[in-house]
Amino acid sequence: MLRRHFIKNTVLTTAGMMALTRQLRAAGDGLTDDLSNLSHLSLDERIRSETLWRAVGRHFNPADDFINLEYGYFSPSTLQTLDQELADARMVNARAAHYFRREMYGDVERVRAELADMAGVLADEVCLTRNTTESMNIVINGLDTAPGDEIIYGDQDYGSMIQVLRMKSARYGVTLKRVKIPLHPASDDEIVNVYEEAITPRTRLLHMTHMYNYSGQVIPVRKICDMGHRHGIESVVDAAHTFAHINYTIPELNCDYFAASLHKWLCAPVGLGILYVKAEKIPDVWPLFGDVSTDRDDIRKLENMGTRPVHQILALSEAIRFYRILGGELREGRLRYLSRRWMDQVRGRERVVVNTPADSARHGALGNVGIKGVDSRDLASFFLDRHHILTVEKSMKNLFTGVRVTPGIPTPSAHADRFVEAIDDALLHFD
């Protein structure tokens, strides 16, 4: 009797999940139809088409009491991804230990393969983590170093990464070399040379950030990695703000280690990250959490952290599907268009300082702007309190002051225009 009841409920659960999956796919396919109907348009026309992006926006559910221009923290999931996450959470909750012990492994491996395919790498080179910070900690703390070994990093690298580098230095005697990255470089070579000139025979690792979270500047990591390899030096790339934002695959960067957060530009559930380790490098990385039962050359040794909310991993499939519907080229183009829409209007205005390179190839959606003589915290508060526009203060001591402005996939062009109006008002208010 009990077994019959269990089987019946299992069937109902499975049937319900299949029905939900069909509904979710139908919603996504509606967007596919919208894209097909606009296939006669050029890429630039599709990037600018508000008809298309209103259709995209219907897959999200943003709050209506403020304008969100802080998608740089994380991007909300689509309604389909959110519904899938909740459905998966219910399924895991119902099946409990049976799922974790008998079913989970195959599901996680399926999602790992989907993510690896999107990233252009082997599934056995991809680790599912919780965020960029965790992924970077695994690499930095997991590499063997000797006292006096050098790690070179940039002055705009993410604060949490600089903290772990300092801890590495304090524990193991590693020498840290901080290089100053030009805010408005004249060429890629100018940045590559900054790293190369800092190299010595003791240099062990080049640490770089693909897109700086302060300024939005994109640096030429492929050229830096190539240069490092010519000197026999490994590279680790913090790609928190470029994965699923800028259109590339990991092999195109030629890095040895790569980390990103999937809840940023991929619009995956919050609490998901990716770590890539080049296959031949895997045996050299120690796990952050103790694991001597997994083979040294198995990437899975790096993601053993005990029981975790696997429903987030399962819902990643839906986020990847939504990404593929739009495609990387169209997404990148739209995000760059939104940032240019406000930056091009205010760049050059008296007292306005745009702390992001003018060349669109050197930035994406993320930008930074300040007003001379105005505290950036006051400026962010003004935008929110008076115009209901969310930005965030992002300044670097002795380099620049300003607020970070980051539109996202759901952002209509009108919100970029509203921000220009807010800047004009701020110029009058803080005169």
Query: What pLDDT, in 10s, does the model give residues 271-330?
Result: 999 999 999 999 999 998 888 888 999 999 999 888 889 999 999 999 999 999 999 999
Contact (Cβ atoms closer than 8 angstroms) between residue 130 and residue 312 = no
Left if phi > 0, otherwise alpha if psi is -120 to 50, otherwise beta: which for 185? beta
Contact (Cβ atoms closer than 8 angstroms) between residue 369 and residue 403 = yes
Backbone angles phi, psi at 299, to 5 degrees: -55, -25
Calpha distance 271→293 (Å, rounded): 26
- Name residues of the chain where pLDDT drops below 70: 1-29
Q: H-helix or E-strand containing 258?
A: strand 257-261
**What local confidence, expressed as pLDDT, does residue 271 receive?**
95
- Going by C-alpha positions, the residue among 95, 80, 84 that lies closest to residue 13 is 95
**How many Cα atoms occupy the beta-carbon half-sphere of 226 within 13 Å?**
11
Against a cut of 0.85, is the pTM above it? yes
- Going by C-alpha positions, the residue among 371, 379, 330, 331 that lies closest to residue 351 is 371
Lay out the sheet containing 403-405: strands in order across: 352-354, 367-371, 403-405, 392-393
**What local confidence, expressed as pLDDT, does residue 29 receive?**
61
**What local confidence, expressed as pLDDT, does residue 21 receive?**
46
Packing angle, helices 310-326 and 328-346, rounded to 10: 80
Calpha distance 128→122 (Å, rounded): 13
**What local confidence, expressed as pLDDT, does residue 28 receive?**
54
- Going by C-alpha positions, the residue among 162, 159, 158, 227 that lies closest to residue 190 is 227
**What local confidence, expressed as pLDDT, does residue 426 receive?**
98
Contact (Cβ atoms closer than 8 angstroms) between residue 269 and residue 77 = yes
- Going by C-alpha positions, the residue among 170, 195, 171, 173 that lies closest to residue 182 is 195
